[in-house]
Amino acid sequence: MSDQNNPRVILNSDDFGLSSSINEAVVKAHREGVLTSASLMVNGGAFDEAVELAKLNPKLGVGLHLTLVMGRATLPPGQLPNLVDARGNFSNNPVAAGMKAFFNRAARPELEAEIAAQIAKFRSTGLTLDHLNGHLHFHLHPTIFDILMKCQNEWNIPAIRFTNDVFRINRRIAKGNWFYQVSHALIFRLLSRRALPKLERSGIRHTNHVFGLLQNDRVDEEYLLKLLPALPPSPVEIYSHPNMDSNRHELDALTSPRVADLIKKLGIQLCRYQDLHQPANKL
């Protein structure tokens, strides 16, 4: 899937629909900057607003940000006794949620039902599903990923985020907590290695690498200016969390003239997941 002569990059925002502040930042980064896609939380507090904004910006690729931890469920609590509390909230503890998904067999049919419900809610908007990924990358959890592979044809999943952040590149250019970077690089290296053969057999589109995980909300202008010339063979996804408030630095990076100029200078073609089936020079 690599293309070195015409490098292709997807610039994505997670958490679309979580708040009006995030929605506003996504639209601004798309209209005035380099953002090409966003991942929608169908149970976010500003979901309806996000859907309307997406329809007003049809060139924005919109995918599903599958939420199975630190968020609300689509199905009522009575149908998910092993996953949510009495108010329909998933656990705020990712480790505990991951262990339950792996070891509690009774949770597996509930996970499948909830994933199906979130996909159906996305489809009900009339938006084209550009891709699927998971809040905190839970889509690569072995149990959840296997459910996605089992039901891929039924759910018509076109593309999945392949969370394979390159530690050797980030080590040179990234800031942040060293232990966080090493631990997350190791965990997702193992998960991505497990997922890749199944992704290849499925024919589901994916990039070669994804950047943003090891930066952990620090995908700022400085990082992008260092990363873009150092990218491995494309296609590549770079994701961030732009916000009008707390993560303003990530919005500023996506609307930076310096970043836009560098993308043009490097001959990078900005795209969405749905564009990956086309030859790079046809985008």
Q: Which domains does the chain have, with CATH numbers?
A: 8-282 (3.20.20.370)
pLDDT tens, residue by residue, 60-96: 999 999 999 999 999 999 999 999 999 999 999 999 9
Helix intervals (H) in the chain: 20-32, 47-56, 94-103, 107-123, 142-150, 152-155, 167-173, 178-202, 221-227, 248-254, 257-265
Q: Could you tell me which of 104, 49, 97, 47 has the C-alpha nearest to residue 70?
A: 97
pLDDT at 217: 81
Q: What is the rounded average pLDDT for all residues in the chain?
A: 93
Is the pLDDT at 281 greater than 60, yes or no?
no
Q: Average pLDDT in the 11-35 region?
A: 98
Q: Average pLDDT in the 20-33 region?
A: 98
pLDDT tens, residue by residue, 219-274: 999 999 999 999 999 899 999 999 999 889 999 999 999 999 999 999 999 999 99
Is the pLDDT at 181 greater than 90, yes or no?
no
pLDDT-derived band at 277 (thresholds 50, 70, 90) equals: confident
Q: Could you tell me which of 60, 19, 17, 74 has the C-alpha nearest to residue 40?
A: 17
Is the pLDDT at 215 greater than 70, yes or no?
yes
Judge residue 50's burial from the number of C-beta atoms within 10 Å of its C-beta, 0-12 exposed, 13-18 middle, 19 or more buried: buried
The length of the chain is 283
Is the pLDDT at 118 greater than 60, yes or no?
yes
pLDDT at 182: 84
pLDDT at 1: 44
> In this structure, what DSSP letter does residue 228 have?
G
Q: State what percent of residues in the chain have pLDDT above 70.
A: 95
Higher per-residue pLDDT: 6 or 42: 42
Is the pLDDT at 56 greater than 60, yes or no?
yes
Contact (Cβ atoms closer than 8 angstroms) between residue 257 and residue 234: no
- Calculate Rg over the CA atoms of the chain: 18
pLDDT at 184: 85
